[in-house]
A and B are shown apart, each in its own frame.
Chain A
């Protein structure tokens, strides 16, 4: 990781300013808002996540589920066709189910609210994957399969036989930049910020638009909040 040139340094000042997390309180608690009203299901965030974090073929840290009949296919509700998208990655729970069950403490909750995974300690028992209610953890089942012969990511690739997952792009957070999925979203459906700051954009959006947690009843208390679509996009069946 350390031998790599930070690509953020290479960014133009405009791009850099675009990705800046600001303002930030002294003791930040990172969180994300996903505006389902804005999401167009383009998978840009998923694709940039793969190259940013060098996620091998067949594995996705981030995906876009369709709340519908099938992928990008609406379902019939009360005689009307209905569909919206649910971008899904690690929910960075305040009370994670995965960290509790790890037998070697390889997955843990950081002070700033990021649920991290230590690929050097993980023994590959997959208990965290069983425990996670969101199905967002991915395992290195075999030798990584990549479209290129070289590593593409901004972070070190993970060894075979270990678990990996979304890290909120911790390497970018350290530079004061939002995760790459937030940066890349063409409709600005993802908003990132400090939940400890009541005036941050994420805090205000959650308050004002009624941010919902996925599978709230499981008690995991995710730090990713969904803003449900306000109007039904009805189409005649």
Chain B
């Protein structure tokens, strides 16, 4: 597979351009549909969704924490790689930091359709209430986004300058400036790693500090969120790196895929251990505040989700990545990554569904649903079956399409290959078309 980049000929280039145009067109259509769906939701209120009082958070919040988690890959590879000196990550660092920036942006955008009064979002600044984990989270999401975006710029700056791009913001490629880059990368790594850990912990605390919810109120939530973020973030990063390699924008050997796969195996093992520890502790008493929701998850109506998460999301990918012979084959690594990415999504679904779908005061008739029901149907529910409405899928899909669009454009326009500036600093290359890639043929 590593030869794909070198055999990419001009004919392939043309069909690739066409594929890219179709892809961008599809994403654009997705964004348009999502926007239209959001306008519909604004006009009808959140009644247009399937969320109700007995299940007040749904797809948007689930995907919010999922995308917060997906942003982990970037800063872990960039920061940990830098701090602990893993130079082998170099070819994928830029993809990783772009992934982090885009994922955290998607997460933040997903909060907008979730709130009932987006027109009052400015209240979050005007009346910020410091004891609310939501305020902590918005702060760290903003900080993390800025760090990631800075990362992207610092890593690509010299190559942009060599191209003569305005995105270099007037910086050049002198030896002193390259040395400053190196210093900046060190500082960013030192700030980025704790910021990443805080980001996942604080997102966990939105759930983990709720004394009303037996399934959430646990000190393991923060470590668990860090672990699941590492699993999904790393898996997505491997997938994105392989996709981008197909286009010839980067090149790396399969050995790196094998190495990243090994890392993912470790993350999966940690995640599996934490899930096991959480479930055992909660379920062991057999009944009560923690045990009731745990047993509902193990044997209740949503048990299928949990066992899917365990089998397809943890065990199978771990085996695929732990066996050296399988890990050496990128196809198996890809399969494991896809399973891990889906598995963590289901893990997030389980957290929200199981935490919220059962009334905390479990007596009939239960919590009032919140919208007028047809005659003959109850207005109350002790447990409420939630599945996202079409409008929720469309709005969330629109946000994700927008993120994918931003990622595609960034990956397309930014120099992902390192080292151009090393030569450029010796003999400045003639300024090529600003902000345009055009280096595929040199692969």
Contacts and interface: CB of A to CB of B under 8 A. Distances in A.
A124 B46 contact: yes
Interface stretch (A100-108, A148-156, A181-189, A197-205): A100-108
B356 A57 contact: no
A88 B369 CA distance: 15
A18 B132 CA distance: 42
A140 B373 CA distance: 14
Interface residues of A, number: 56
Contacts of A106: 123, 127
A177 interface: no
A129 to B, nearest CB: 5
Interface stretch (B82-90, B314-322, B360-368, B390-398): B360-368
A160 B119 CA distance: 12
B56 A124 contact: no
A228 interface: no
B259 to A, nearest CB: 41
Interface string B343-379: 0000000000000100111011111111111000001
A162 B380 CA distance: 20
Given A129-B53, A160-B45, A63 B132 contact: no
B129 interface: yes
B121 interface: yes
B117 interface: yes
Q: Which of A58, A86, A145 has the most CB of B within 10 A?
A: A58
Contacts of B366: 65, 135
Interface string A157-188: 00111100000000000000000000000000
Contacts of B248: none
B116 A126 contact: yes
Given A97-B211, A104-B124, A121-B123, A141 B46 contact: yes
B133 interface: yes
A101 B360 CA distance: 18
Contacts of A130: 56-57, 210, 212-213, 356
Chain B interface category by residue count = 35 or more
A67 to B, nearest CB: 6
A215 interface: yes
A218 interface: yes
Given A102-B132, A134-B360, A58 B368 contact: yes
Q: Which of A65, A102, A103, A105 has the most CB of B within 10 A?
A: A103
Given A129-B56, A215-B361, A142 B44 contact: yes
Contact of B124 (A59, A67, A123): A123
Given A125-B115, A132-B212, A133-B211, A104 B361 contact: no
Contacts of A103: 124, 128-129, 132, 134-135, 138
Contacts of A88: 361
A57 B124 contact: no
A73 B47 CA distance: 31
A63 B364 CA distance: 10
Nearest to B135: A103
Given A97-B212, A142-B44, A102 B368 contact: no
B363 A65 contact: yes
A141 B51 contact: yes
B45 A141 contact: yes
Contacts of A1: none
A57 B371 CA distance: 7
Interface string B169-213: 000000000000000000000000000000000000010011111
A169 B141 CA distance: 39
A71 B365 contact: yes
Interface in B33-56: 44-48, 51-54, 56
B120 interface: yes
Given A58-B370, A131-B210, A141-B52, A65 B361 contact: yes
Nearest to B132: A103
A60 interface: yes
Contacts of B369: 58
Given A134-B361, A135-B360, A143-B45, A125 B114 contact: yes
Contact of B368 (A121, A138, A215): A138
B131 interface: yes
B132 A101 contact: yes
A44 interface: no
B100 to A, nearest CB: 24
B395 to A, nearest CB: 15
Contacts of A161: 45-46, 115-117
Contacts of B123: 104, 106, 121, 123
Given A60-B379, A135-B54, A67 B363 contact: yes
A154 to B, nearest CB: 20
Contacts of A124: 46, 115-117, 120
Contacts of A73: 364
Given A123-B116, A123-B117, A126-B116, A104 B368 contact: no
Q: Which of A70, A125, A132, A134 has the most CB of B within 10 A?
A: A125
Contacts of B206: 127
A143 B56 CA distance: 17
A71 B364 contact: yes
B360 A133 contact: yes
Contact of A58 (B48, B129, B373): B373
B368 A63 contact: yes
A65 B51 contact: no
A214 B53 CA distance: 20
B368 A59 contact: yes
Given A121-B120, A142-B47, 10 more contacts: A63-B368, A65-B363, A65-B365, A101-B131, A124-B46, A129-B53, A130-B210, A135-B360, A141-B47, A162-B116
Interface of B: 44-48, 51-54, 56-57, 114-117, 120-121, 123-124, 126-129, 131-135, 138, 206, 209-213, 289, 356, 359-361, 363-373, 379-380
5 closest A-B pairs (Cβ-Cβ)? A124-B116, A142-B47, A161-B116, A65-B363, A57-B372
5 contacts: A63-B365, A70-B365, A122-B120, A125-B116, A160-B116
